[in-house]
Structure 1
Amino acid sequence: MTKSPEAADETGRVRELDELNALESLLEPDFQAIAISAAHVCEAPIALVNLVAEKRQYVKGRAGTDLTGVNPAVPFCEHTIAGREFLEIHDARADPRFRDHPIVTGPPRTRFYAGMPMITRQGNALGTVCVMSPRPDRLDEAQRQALHTLATHAVTLIELHGRAHQAEEVVRRLGALEKLKNQFLSNLNHELRTPLTSIRSYLELVQEGGLNEATEQRFLRIIEHNSGRMLHLINTLLLMAGLKAQTATFTPDSVDLSDLARQAVERVDPAAELKELQLNLHARDRVRVWADAEQLRNALLQVLDNAIKFTDRGGAVDVVVVAGPPPEVEVHDTGVGVESEDLRRVFEEFYRTRQAEEQAAGGTGIGLSIVEKIMEMHGGAARMEKETHEGVCVHLTLPSSALLPDPGRPDPSGGS
């Protein structure tokens, strides 16, 4: 028995199987009918409509066999897919490629096989429509043509089912996006209206007069705080618009990642103190990288703002600078955490986790989306993962190529 060949288009066809969602539902009535027709036309006791991926066979339709679901791939079918053309084995016991295979030596003791590959419009052979028998046999030209027609129908059905699934997925995503946008507008309205209402109220009180100096100064500080809150939100929206339109400024230079992290930590320290959080920085003396300091600081501040917002009073936020390669900044928190299904969506525009909604936490749902776009601008990436016990860790990773030699340290190679 020879080793089964691998199709030249293995990667492409496995990707297309996934894109068409072809392996999700098996034994469908339409494919059952094709298998029954193949068995009838070819006068064979067994017929299959099956897809093959990663040495496994996925049965879509069957006749004369109780095969269901996922099974080891039929070796004949692997050869059919690799050859990308009709394959007929008149007597497998006389064929050195198959005579020692368990499907030949044991049940169902296959002797005859005829299979037609299912080739898509993209040119990938996804599987076969095939017939088998425990007796040597041979198809005539009319039967071969019928098997070809049935294989063409089968692959057309797979493509149609796949496109229908993709269309449904697009509609679902559009609906979800519309819902997220509506939620964003609602949150934005709240985030703007609340401080604006506060500013207007306190201004009226100050204008009416009659306040002692201490009270008036306190009201003015509240007005200043709320105006700063609005300005921050407007700047965030402008930054998001610039990043999406690819018009945001990007002027990279030699930057000390440790110093940048220290600046960001100092900026959010007052907010951490208000919640009695431990805010810790763990950094080497210097980690030189090629980056846009302002944009990278914006990304880090967005992550820190999230960490502080979703960490309960008395918790901790740790910022760790990793020299790499690749260089990165990790932000660990002991907060409410994120559900596993949310981890891949937290960087989507307007997306807010269930925890954010339940806690009625302020925000518009675009902060982490901004973070991801800034890291992509640098050729890096942002990702979030659950901590072992509680909270999450956000990794802001720059490419290894961004790491610069530190002129203040000796060259470890001994060069001058």
Structure 2
Amino acid sequence: MTSLPWPSDETGRLQELRELHVLDVVLEGDFRAIAEVVAYVCRTPIGVVNLMDADYQHFKGRHGIDLTGIGRRQMSFCSYAIRGRDVLEVHDAQADERFRRDPAVQGEPYMRFYAGAPIVTTRGHALGAVFAADHRPRRLRSEQRRILSTLAAGVAHLAELHHHARRAELVEHRLRHLEELKNQFLRTVNHELRTPLTSIRSYLQLVQDGDLDETTEQKFLRVIDRNSARLGELLDRLLLIASLNARTVPFTPASADLAELARQAAGSLAERARAGELTMTVHAPAPVMACADPVQARYAIEQLLDNAVKFTPPGGRVEIVVHAGSAPAVEVRDTGVGIDPGEIDRVREDFYRGAGAEERAIGGAGIGLSLAEKIARMHGGDVQIDSRPGHGTRVRLTLPGPHAVPAVRR
């Protein structure tokens, strides 16, 4: 094995690792869940969340591998992975001069395949890597590589959230608020990850048993694919909210037709609305121009529609109304369960789920309205909420007019 590479930012990387207290045991349960997702998404027997200090590798989340939790840094795969910012994929370690004499290749766990995504913080340091491994050579699909990168970003986001919560412990009232929010986030994300993951594991076991006819097997594979997509969507949303908070999300405002964006958003939710026995209508004179990033604006509208569909009982209505003018807007109205007045402001917070969602066991990570509002404010717009329990909800997304100067990211 050749001498191990060292990142050019090693001093700053180790300093941030210490400042974040990410080697504490607090987040190990979450990292184990992420390691499970890595293994099942990448279809490998091994998934690991690995954090690296100056001398050791800390396997803080492990699935499918018997590790003590700490290993010498002489194992080389992740040392290479943290030097870059893309997924490092080693298709056959025995055929790669960098790794063929690695202890993990020559001995337990006899790794032949490795795919690792660096865990990069908002300050640009790689704390370690999230990796999948196998005992035989293989290759990942592009979708699997993308999800692996998203999972690594999620680990960095979790570490940073934990760091901020730790600092807030100095202020008692802020501590109570953050503790409640953190617990809600962990419960929600854990449930949202484990529900599709359990389904994937169950159906995958049935397929692997090999006693199914071809029609049933294809049906089960479609279920596995749907749940994999659901995991990918959730992780994409978590990555987006992290990017919005860090002000690193791509933002290219231009002249955009809100009427067309509203129709596209409604189309993407139409099947779910039909499945929920809802009537969805779009009132959109064309065109209604605004100064907006069309990708981000459509995504914000989709989040509002997603909430409306989720919280409206069967037989209800969801309406999308597009308003022209100097401050063009998209208004989403529903006949759903409504929001308690005391929760109107809290539902804008990251990961907050109202009492109604908990009581009715309505799924979701509690970030739809937060995402929509952050996107609106990035444009220089706003989100207004008008709601009463039992009388539905009206959410108005306002964006700058077509002749406005493009907003500066705030």
TM tier relative to shorter chain: 0.5 to 0.7
2:398 paired residue number: 397
SS at match of 2:281: strand
Name the CA distance, whole Å, in 2 between partners of 1:203 and 1:292: 40
Residue 183 (str. 1) matches residue 179 (str. 2): no
1:378 paired residue number: 379
Listed as ranges, the matches of 1:265-284 within 5 Å are 265-284=266-285
Deviations 1:197-248 (A, max 9, x none): 1112111111211212221121111111101100000000000010000000
Name the CA distance, whole Å, in 1 between partners of 2:394 and 2:384: 8
1:319 paired residue number: 320
1:251 paired residue number: 252
Listed as ranges, the matches of 1:30-49 within 5 Å are none
TM-score by length of 2: 0.56
C-alpha displacement at 1:349, in angstroms? 1.5
1:102 paired residue number: none
SS at match of 1:352: coil
Residue 171 (str. 1) matches residue 159 (str. 2): no
Letter matched to residue 390 of structure 1: H
Q: Retained in 2: the 8 A contact 1:187–1:364?
A: yes
Q: Retained in 1: the 8 A contact 2:317–2:335?
A: yes
Q: Retained in 1: the 8 A contact 2:269–2:305?
A: yes
Q: CA RMSD in A?
A: 2.2
C-alpha displacement at 1:171, in angstroms? 2.7
Residue 350 (str. 1) matches residue 351 (str. 2): yes
Q: Retained in 2: the 8 A contact 1:327–1:403?
A: no
Deviations 1:247-290 (A, max 9, x none): 00001122111000000000000000001100000000101111
C-alpha change, 1:338 and 1:388, in structure 2 (3 Å) is closer
Letter matched to residue 297 of structure 1: R
C-alpha displacement at 1:172, in angstroms? 2.2
Deviations 1:314-365 (A, max 9, x none): 1000000000221000000000000111112211112111101111211121
Q: Retained in 2: the 8 A contact 1:387–1:393?
A: no
Between the two proteins, the alignment pairs up a number of residues equal to 238
Q: Retained in 1: the 8 A contact 2:382–2:398?
A: yes
2:226 paired residue number: 225
C-alpha displacement at 1:302, in angstroms? 1.0
C-alpha change, 1:364 and 1:205, in structure 2 (3 Å) is same
Deviations 1:152-182 (A, max 9, x none): xxxxxxxxxxxxxxx9996324312211111
1:328 paired residue number: 329
Q: Retained in 1: the 8 A contact 2:203–2:220?
A: yes
Q: Retained in 1: the 8 A contact 2:341–2:388?
A: no
SS at match of 2:285: coil
2:310 paired residue number: 309
Deviations 1:33-80 (A, max 9, x none): xxxxxxxxxxxxxxxxxxxxxxxxxxxxxxxxxxxxxxxxxxxxxxxx
Letter matched to residue 295 of structure 1: Q
TM-score by length of 1: 0.55
1:216 paired residue number: 217
SS at match of 1:230: helix
Q: Retained in 1: the 8 A contact 2:340–2:389?
A: no
Q: Retained in 2: the 8 A contact 1:279–1:316?
A: yes
Question: What 5-or-longer segments of structure 2 have no aligned partner?
Answer: 1-167, 406-410
Residue 359 (str. 1) matches residue 360 (str. 2): yes
SS at match of 1:337: coil
Q: Retained in 1: the 8 A contact 2:381–2:399?
A: yes
Moved over 2 A (4+): 167-174, 399-404
Name the CA distance, whole Å, in 2 between partners of 1:387 and 1:251: 36
Name the CA distance, whole Å, in 1 between partners of 2:304 and 2:387: 15
Letter matched to residue 379 of structure 1: G
Letter matched to residue 182 of structure 1: N
